[in-house]
Amino acid sequence: MNDITVIGLGAMGSALATCLMERGLGVTVWNRSADKAATLVDRGARLADSPREAVRDSPVTVVSVLDYAAAQGILDQAEEALSGRTLVNLTNGTPAQARRMAAWVEGHGAGYVDGAVMVTPEMVGGPDAFLLYSGNESAFGQHEDALSTLGNSTFIGENVASAAIYDLALLASMFGMFGGYLHAAALLRSEGIPVSRVAPMIMSLLKAMIELYPAIAREVDTGEYASPSSNNAMMAAALKNILDGSREQKVREDLLTPVWQLFDQSRHHGLGESDISALVPLLEAGDSD
Ligand SMILES: NC(=O)c1ccc[n+]([C@@H]2O[C@H](COP(=O)([O-])OP(=O)(O)OC[C@H]3O[C@@H](n4cnc5c(N)ncnc54)[C@H](OP(=O)(O)O)[C@@H]3O)[C@@H](O)[C@H]2O)c1
């Protein structure tokens, strides 16, 4: 019996397995493409012949593959081995997928913990690494020491969908930021300006804006929206200029069109003078016009 099993040896799974081994744990691995295990095996990992053998080899199995369909396809081959063990699924997915997986795994007699790795593979095990977990708290507690070697571990609660919704929310913030940055880069290039020249200014602006997040969060949570100096109607006009300017410069505007639409809707809802926090309820399904 080994200490821990890692299923999935893509960029993330390999980083997880490497980190666990570096911390002195005995690691069993399995990956659809077995060749990806070579380096880990050279360093002392045990390569299982099948998902079933991999799960059977340790009290706890960590899964990190592309998506839940891949994870389920692998676990279907291991269901007889699950009973009495813990499965920690670090695969990115939706809350509904986490709930379905939890029911299936617990139905096979195993403890299920859903999780999310909130850093890149290079950062796993480092001081800034953090991972989120939810689901079966006693199963998490049994393996917390091993899991904590991967980074700062936070157990959010027994609602198994929590880790997935946190994961999607954090990534939504990140992708929104990336989308804006990519659009900015295209706009700059349209005028022959090197993006590197402007990147420090963009970073400076974003750092200042991020300081507003706690106040925005409080307003969203209380439903009491401030009337700031930068209101939604003013920002809708600026966003329209971004779209018009992009068209003029032959840059696709479609990435930011829905953002302008949201700010523009504020006027129809009497929220033109409000802070951006007031726009959040408009994003709830059925509220668009
Ligand atoms: N990379 C990051 O920066 C990062 C950060 C946080 C979270 N994550 C999450 O970590 C998870 C793994 O990401 P990654 O970066 O390791 O991706 P990756 O490098 O593309 O590796 C994908 C893994 O999934 C396996 N896989 C894909 N389809 C499969 C299938 N149908 N059946 C069996 N195995 C299948 C691959 O196996 P093969 O080797 O056989 O193709 C490989 O092990 C994802 O859910 C991702 O969202 C990634």
Q: State pLDDT tens for residues 42-53.
A: 999 999 999 999
Task: Please tell me if the CB atom of residue 139 comes closer than 6 angstroms to any atom of ligand 1.
Answer: no
- Does the beta carbon of 31 sit less than 6 angstroms from any atom of ligand 1? yes
Query: To test ligand 1's pocket by mutation, which of 66, 75, 132, 133 has the most ligand atoms within 8 angstroms of CB?
Result: 66
pLDDT grade for 229, boundaries at 50, 70 and 90: confident
Kindly give the distance from the C-alpha atom of residue 67 to the centroid of ligand 1, in angstroms, as a whole number.
7
The model carries a pTM of 0.93
Query: Mean pLDDT throughout 207-228?
Result: 93
Instruction: Give the amino acid at 229.
Output: S
What mean pLDDT, rounded, does the chain reach?
96
Atom 19 in ligand 1: residue holding the nearest Cα: 10
Beta bridge partners of 88: 62, 113
pLDDT on residue 74: 98
Q: Label the pairing between strands 46-47 and 27-30.
A: parallel
**CA dihedral over 118, 119, 120, 125, signed as positive or negative:** negative
Tell me the best of 6, 12, 131 to mutate to test the pocket of ligand 1, counting ligand atoms within 8 Å of each CB and taking the most: 12
The CA 114 to ligand 1 mean position distance, Å, reads: 16
Say yes or no: CB of residue 62 within 6 Å of ligand 1. Answer: no
Find the mean pLDDT for residues 56-84: 98
Of the chain, the percentage scoring pLDDT greater than 90 comes to: 95
Span from the CA of 122 to the centroid of ligand 1 (angstroms):
15
Indicate the range of 86-90, 146-150, 194-198, 221-225 predicted with least confidence: 221-225
Asked which of 27-36, 57-66, 264-273 is least confident by mean pLDDT, the reply is 264-273
Stretch among 59-68, 93-102, 276-285 having the lowest mean pLDDT: 276-285
Among protein residues, the one whose CA lies closest to atom 24 of ligand 1: 65
Ligand 1 lined by 14 (C-beta under 6 Å):
no
Instruction: Read off the pLDDT band of 261 (50, 70, 90).
Output: very high
Question: Considering the chain, what percentage of its residues have pLDDT values greater than 70?
Answer: 99
Report the C-alpha gap between 210 and 217 in whole angstroms: 11
Is the pLDDT assigned to residue 61 strictly greater than 90? yes
Verify whether ligand 1 is closer than 6 Å to residue 51 (CB atom): no
The band of 242, judged by pLDDT with boundaries at 50, 70 and 90, is very high
Closest ligand 1 atom, CA of 15? 16
* Mean pLDDT calculated for residue range 115-128: 97
In which residue are the tokens 């003029």 written?
Answer: 248
Instruction: Give CA–CA dist 284/269, Å, rounded.
Output: 14
Is the beta carbon of 151 within 6 A of some atom in ligand 1? no
Per-residue pLDDT tens over the stretch 126-174: 999 999 999 999 999 999 999 999 999 999 999 999 999 999 999 999 9
CB 288 within 8 A of CB 247: no
Among 120, 119, 16, 134, which residue's Cα sits nearest to residue 64? 16
pLDDT band at 288 (very low <50, low <70, confident <90, very high): very low
Q: Ligand 1 within 6 A of 163 CB? A: no
